[in-house]
A and B are shown apart, each in its own frame.
Chain A
Amino acid sequence: MRPFSYQRASDPDMAVRALAAGAANDPLTKAAAQPLAGGTALIDLMKLDVMRPAAIVDINPLAHAWSAIEPGGGSLRLGALARMSDVAAHAEIQRSYPVIADSLKLAASAQLRNMATLGGNVMQRTRCNYFRDVSYENCNKRNPGSGCAAMDGVNRMHAVLGVSDQCIATYPGDFAQALIALDAVVEITGKAGTRGIPFAQLHKAPGSTPEIETTLQPGELISAFSIQGRWPRSVYLKARDRQSYEFALSSAAIALDVQDGTIRDARVALGGVATVPWRAREAEALLKGQKFDEALARRVADAAFADARGRRHNSFKIGLGRRVVARALQQAATMEI
């Protein structure tokens, strides 16, 4: 770890100002000042020397204003500083948004979920081993232009969707798949006050600039997430190497609106297989207006992975991902609500 200054945010304005100070045109992750929430991701990366901020702005003092868990009136608002465990345990979230509750409950470990916040969770960075170990020089995300060690290296955990020839790192989080599936809006607090953007516009696929991961600018903070409507018919299915405390090899966030046996609206999002939170819109289109059956589920699953590109160790994720999607769809279609 390198020396850094530490400040506690007294109010959102002060936090924004402190974070914007001295900001260059660098990617956000390289900004001189970084916000600290639960710290379970940021501190790790600082110890590994991957992130080297000169200043830390602790936003936990904003918790009184930023930790809402407010379902009701046909919508949901979640503060960025709400803890993963509190949201996962909330009875109304479990009832009306099971995909959210499960995506959080199946993530990390109980201890981490008690510390970690929703904002920090969506902003967590890839687990690519070559990215997290600075002794590897070739990592375009860490050292732009240096190459990608994972491309022909050990890439079992890597992405098959949204990849570029510069980077195939998986976006590792679970909760983001629920957010993107439910068309969440991210509330961003910055110099000019707050604004909302669709969650799908928060993360950026690697393309030729894998070092740029989100559309946030230095000095901008996520303050909340909001979702319209209730989604009681929704599931989060996660396949992983061990039964707990492990990232997804493949996951699916599914939400269906079924009336009289006909699917009126359908959401399919994929985790563990893509470089960013991933919405499979073409696949969703196949579901709308249809009656559910297993053959349809398989067609949807195939469509979701139509553009997938595997590498040496991760090609299995294409078949696995299809089976996870088909199974999750079936669970959602048949669940008792």
Chain B
Amino acid sequence: MTAAALEPKANMGQPVPRYDAAAKVTGRATYASDMPLDNPAYAFLVTSAIAKGRIDRFDLDDARGVRGVIDIITHENAPKLKETKLFSNGGYAGTTIQPLKSAEIAHDGQIIAVVIAESYEAAREAANRVKVSYTATAPSASFESPGTTTAAAKGQNAQFKEDPEVGDFAKAFDAAEVKLTASYDTPTQHHNPMELFTTSCVWMGDNLVIYEGSQYVYGLKNGVAEQLGIDADKVRVVNPYVGGGFGSRGSMTPRTAIIAGIAKRLSRPVKLVPTRDQGFTIATYRAETRHEIKLGASRDGKLVALRHEGAEISSRPDAYCVGGTKTTTRLYACPNVESLVSIVRADRNTPGFMRSPPEVPYLFALESAMDELAVKLNMDPVELRRINDTTTEPIGGKPYTSRSLMACFDEAAKAFGWSQRTPQARSMSDGDWLVGYGCAATCYPTQMAPSAARVRLQRDGRTRVEIAGHEIGTGAYTVIAQTAAERLGVPLEKVAVFIGDSDLPPAPVAGGSNSTASTCSVVMMVCDQIRQRLFKAVRPSDSLADKAKETVGISPAPSTQATKGDRPLDIEKAFDALGVGVVEEYGEWKPEGAPLDSFKALHAGQPRFVGGHQMKDKIAYAFGAEFVEVRINRFTHEIRCPRLVGAFAAGRIMNPRTARSQLMGGLIWGMSSALLEATEIDERNARYVNDNLADYLVPVNADVPGVEVIMLSEQDDHINPVGAKGLGELANVGTNAAICNAIYHATGQRIRKLPVRLENIEV
């Protein structure tokens, strides 16, 4: 075992290498815009230079003069598209702002024209030559700007159902022995996946094929069909590999239907490759948030009152919000809780999911406040969490299906060397550097959604698994292959996995960290259908036949299910008895508690999530604890983070290698979201300024010299058949608070606004 392939502990799968490792390192993996097209036309976008107002006039003469230009599409000649609904209102779109519909401009960088040419270069050159006259009106950029409107999230966002509360917060806070009130801010951030927001659309008669990196091929297929007014079965979305998503590809963006419409008109494939800076405005982003936390505690550290108020930016037409109070009001034992989430509307594009959408900003506030409270109480911050640890959530009184929060704290503390920390702020240093240690909790709801799969087994053990899941870099191919190999008892090398294609059986959106639990649960179920068929064929009278699903393996028995006395099934004999060459099974699975319309919605591209706090009689979360060492240069005030240590428990770990990679990436991103990442907005014109990867800072290797991931063994039989909790969005939560807590320890200065830059440090 190596550092990358951790030794599996109890209830962990094997750390097998990635299914697609060789394809990726040799460049053979074909991403959407690598797909060969027959005689494509190339599209290049023109985006607005104002955030609010209207287009008075285009001057296209110069652009049309560029050799190779085929057409320039503006609102005056764009294909007509049907209205869309936001995904949270039963639609598919991440924004209802539909460009090219009228001369109106609703946000910076809105698509205002598409140049189509014989080459990418000609399209780009012509786009540079498009001249636009606008009438601009003063936009509202963000919280500080005049002209925004604010209203409670509840009642305007269908997915934000409640402002959790319990007991009598006001009274309890009033009477509390120790009180804390503090405000926190988080910035605008952009996903910036490596793969740009490309799309290619190819018509074959009435059938449309879309090559596009998507985290939800069924959603995109249905959404584009709706906008084009055609039957969804005539649309196919293909993307065997996705170059990172982080939420940015979870819902449909306006570009796809526009390009599909243009391709139809031209009767020719059209390929769009937008630029990095256009990606900042043609897709979604993590909106800036503001928080006020009030904590009341007894002198011995027990929380008696907690209030979390959050405000989030959204666009004028859409009430997007992440509403992380559902988590922060339930994390610790506290009898009196109140919360409120508001949405502030500005002249911006509609924000959307970005890795751990609610938890990143909301736990920054809560986990910073917990550290502040620990300081007030003169108590070790780990002990404060221990005192307020709970096995039931306080709002509905439901038990956590499993909760290893304190075990994570203890393991991570040990690995980190927390005991070396001298509690006093500013008490540790090393030469030019002030040293601080900090920690925070992380948690993420365990979610799953209905899913379908098809599995085919051949006599020689070759197995084909088909499911419209998504390989966004997480290891989806690998864990699906492992699940099938294990359930069918066939060697891993014999399993071929096909995902990323909406012609395959539907899987949910690769979001909310549900993919592994959902896709592996259905693959497991369908493999069991195959086992049962084979078993019945060989031993029709065996009293065990009906139990085959639970107890009997093929050859050899799946290691997790083997029971004493099971004889492995002779696969050849079974095929002979059935008189077939292949056995193929299709199945649809839904998690316990999923709504009645689950399977209908599954095919319509609408996920029906179950999990987190929305389960009946129970609540399911994955937990972790993160410890960081921060160093601050006395002279330059540069802030560096030489060590990040995280311990996590997430039910069954399907593959410690791919899991570690997710968790490590999460820790790094968590650090980045505290110290580096922020999209700067020019308040005067509500435009993004640092919209490129040189100025939108993400960590380089030198910024993360030490990252340690610890996975705890945890078994949870109350969540889903595979027993896995999603962990893709677990590790980038809380890191931001841990960093600020460490900065406080290093300097004595409490910073409540992200990102923390060297100019914010006063030592």
Q: Do A and B come from one complex?
A: yes
User: Which residues of the other chain, A, contact B675 by a CB distance below 8 angstroms?
Assistant: 241
The verdict on A307 contacting chain B, using a C-beta distance below 8 Å, is no
The verdict on A1 contacting chain B, using a C-beta distance below 8 Å, is yes
Asked if residues A320 and B703 are in contact (CB atoms below 8 Å), the reply is no
User: Which residues of the other chain, B, contact A149 by a CB distance below 8 angstroms?
Assistant: 682
The verdict on B124 contacting chain A, using a C-beta distance below 8 Å, is yes
Asked if residues A239 and B636 are in contact (CB atoms below 8 Å), the reply is yes
B124 closest partner in A (C-beta):
A1
Asked if residues B702 and A249 are in contact (CB atoms below 8 Å), the reply is no
Asked if residues A154 and B758 are in contact (CB atoms below 8 Å), the reply is no
- List residues of A (123-168) whose CB comes within 8 Å of B's CBs: 127, 129-130, 132-137, 149, 152-154, 156-157
Asked if residues A316 and B759 are in contact (CB atoms below 8 Å), the reply is yes
User: Which residues of the other chain, A, contact B697 by a CB distance below 8 angstroms?
Assistant: 241-242, 246
How far in angstroms is the closest Cβ of chain A from B157? Answer: 31
- List residues of A (294-322) whose CB comes within 8 Å of B's CBs: 316, 320
Contact of B128 among A2, A129, A250 (CB under 8 A): A2
The verdict on B397 contacting chain A, using a C-beta distance below 8 Å, is no
The verdict on A243 contacting chain B, using a C-beta distance below 8 Å, is yes
How far in angstroms is the closest Cβ of chain B from A253? Answer: 15
Docked complex Cα distance between A105 and B331 (Å): 47
Asked if residues B121 and A127 are in contact (CB atoms below 8 Å), the reply is no
Docked complex Cα distance between A327 and B431 (Å): 13
B46 closest partner in A (C-beta):
A135
Asked if residues A154 and B124 are in contact (CB atoms below 8 Å), the reply is no
Contact of A240 among B125, B277, B638, B692 (CB under 8 A): B638
Q: Mark interface residues in A90-132 (1 if CB within 8 Å of B CB, else 0).
A: 0000000000000000000100000000000000000101101
Asked if residues A320 and B682 are in contact (CB atoms below 8 Å), the reply is no
Q: How many chain-B residues does the 8 Å CB contact rule pick out?
A: 35
Asked if residues B758 and A320 are in contact (CB atoms below 8 Å), the reply is yes
Contact of A245 among B47, B684, B689, B700 (CB under 8 A): B700
Q: How many chain-A residues does the 8 Å CB contact rule pick out?
A: 37
The verdict on A49 contacting chain B, using a C-beta distance below 8 Å, is yes
Docked complex Cα distance between A93 and B694 (Å): 29
Docked complex Cα distance between A137 and B636 (Å): 35
User: Which residues of the other chain, B, contact A320 by a CB distance below 8 angstroms?
Assistant: 636-637, 758-759
The verdict on A323 contacting chain B, using a C-beta distance below 8 Å, is yes
Docked complex Cα distance between A249 and B757 (Å): 11
Q: Mark interface residues in B691-735 (1 if CB within 8 Å of A CB, else 0).
A: 110110101111100000000000000000000000000000000
Most buried by B among A109, A237, A243, A323: A243
The verdict on A244 contacting chain B, using a C-beta distance below 8 Å, is yes
The verdict on B429 contacting chain A, using a C-beta distance below 8 Å, is no
The verdict on A193 contacting chain B, using a C-beta distance below 8 Å, is no
Asked if residues B635 and A242 are in contact (CB atoms below 8 Å), the reply is no
Contact of A324 among B125, B635, B676, B695 (CB under 8 A): B635
Docked complex Cα distance between A107 and B49 (Å): 32
Docked complex Cα distance between A175 and B757 (Å): 25
How far in angstroms is the closest Cβ of chain B from A46? Answer: 11
Asked if residues B680 and A154 are in contact (CB atoms below 8 Å), the reply is yes
User: Which residues of the other chain, A, contact B121 by a CB distance below 8 angstroms?
Assistant: 1
The verdict on A3 contacting chain B, using a C-beta distance below 8 Å, is yes
Docked complex Cα distance between A1 and B124 (Å): 7
Asked if residues B128 and A49 are in contact (CB atoms below 8 Å), the reply is yes
User: Which residues of the other chain, B, contact A245 by a CB distance below 8 angstroms?
Assistant: 700, 702
How far in angstroms is the closest Cβ of chain B from A278? Answer: 18
Docked complex Cα distance between A45 and B343 (Å): 39
Asked if residues B759 and A129 are in contact (CB atoms below 8 Å), the reply is no
How far in angstroms is the closest Cβ of chain A from B680? Answer: 5
User: Which residues of the other chain, A, contact B47 by a CB distance below 8 angstroms?
Assistant: 135
Asked if residues B684 and A243 are in contact (CB atoms below 8 Å), the reply is no
B125 closest partner in A (C-beta):
A2
Asked if A241 meets B758 with Cβ closer than 8 Å, knowing A2-B125, A154-B680, the reply is yes
The verdict on B458 contacting chain A, using a C-beta distance below 8 Å, is no
Contact of B682 among A153, A239, A243, A327 (CB under 8 A): A153
User: Which residues of the other chain, B, contact A237 by a CB distance below 8 angstroms?
Assistant: 636
The verdict on A57 contacting chain B, using a C-beta distance below 8 Å, is no
User: Which residues of the other chain, B, contact A239 by a CB distance below 8 angstroms?
Assistant: 633, 636-638, 758
Asked if residues A327 and B684 are in contact (CB atoms below 8 Å), the reply is no
Asked if A242 meets B689 with Cβ closer than 8 Å, knowing A2-B128, A133-B277, the reply is no
User: Which residues of the other chain, B, contact A76 by a CB distance below 8 angstroms?
Assistant: none
Docked complex Cα distance between A49 and B757 (Å): 31
The verdict on B690 contacting chain A, using a C-beta distance below 8 Å, is yes
Asked if A154 meets B690 with Cβ closer than 8 Å, knowing A127-B695, A249-B758, the reply is yes
A238 closest partner in B (C-beta):
B636
The verdict on B426 contacting chain A, using a C-beta distance below 8 Å, is no
User: Which residues of the other chain, A, contact B302 by a CB distance below 8 angstroms?
Assistant: none
User: Which residues of the other chain, A, contact B694 by a CB distance below 8 angstroms?
Assistant: 127
Asked if residues A154 and B682 are in contact (CB atoms below 8 Å), the reply is yes
Asked if residues B125 and A244 are in contact (CB atoms below 8 Å), the reply is no
User: Which residues of the other chain, B, contact A42 by a CB distance below 8 angstroms?
Assistant: none
The verdict on B464 contacting chain A, using a C-beta distance below 8 Å, is no
Q: Mark interface residues in B610-646 (1 if CB within 8 Å of A CB, else 0).
A: 0000000000000000000000010111101000000
A241 closest partner in B (C-beta):
B697
Q: Mark interface residues in A1-36 (1 if CB within 8 Å of B CB, else 0).
A: 111000000000000000000000000000000000
User: Which residues of the other chain, A, contact B702 by a CB distance below 8 angstroms?
Assistant: 242-245
The verdict on A326 contacting chain B, using a C-beta distance below 8 Å, is yes
Asked if A3 meets B125 with Cβ closer than 8 Å, knowing A153-B689, A244-B702, the reply is yes
Docked complex Cα distance between A324 and B638 (Å): 11
Asked if residues B700 and A242 are in contact (CB atoms below 8 Å), the reply is yes
Docked complex Cα distance between A239 and B632 (Å): 12
Docked complex Cα distance between A153 and B640 (Å): 28
How far in angstroms is the closest Cβ of chain B from A112? Answer: 11
- List residues of B (24-82) whose CB comes within 8 Å of A's CBs: 47, 49
User: Which residues of the other chain, B, contact A127 by a CB distance below 8 angstroms?
Assistant: 694-695
B641 closest partner in A (C-beta):
A243
User: Which residues of the other chain, A, contact B691 by a CB distance below 8 angstroms?
Assistant: 133
Docked complex Cα distance between A154 and B759 (Å): 15
User: Which residues of the other chain, A, contact B636 by a CB distance below 8 angstroms?
Assistant: 237, 239, 250, 320, 323-324, 327
B49 closest partner in A (C-beta):
A135
Q: Mark interface residues in B342-356 (1 if CB within 8 Å of A CB, else 0).
A: 000000000000000
Docked complex Cα distance between A133 and B125 (Å): 15
User: Which residues of the other chain, B, contact A157 by a CB distance below 8 angstroms?
Assistant: 695
Contact of A129 among B637, B689, B699 (CB under 8 A): B689
Q: Mark interface residues in A240-269 (1 if CB within 8 Å of B CB, else 0).
A: 111111100110000000000000000000
A326 closest partner in B (C-beta):
B635
How far in angstroms is the closest Cβ of chain B from A173? Answer: 14
User: Which residues of the other chain, A, contact B640 by a CB distance below 8 angstroms?
Assistant: 243
Docked complex Cα distance between A239 and B699 (Å): 16
* Contact sample, A vs B, 10 pairs, CB 8 Å cutoff: A2-B128, A129-B689, A152-B684, A237-B636, A241-B675, A241-B758, A243-B703, A245-B700, A323-B635, A327-B636
Q: A154-B682, A243-B702 are in contact. List 11 more A-B contacts (CB 8 A).
A: A1-B125, A49-B128, A130-B689, A132-B692, A156-B680, A239-B758, A240-B638, A242-B703, A243-B640, A320-B636, A327-B636
Q: Which 6 A-B pairs have the closest CB atoms?
A: A316-B759, A239-B636, A243-B702, A244-B702, A327-B635, A135-B49
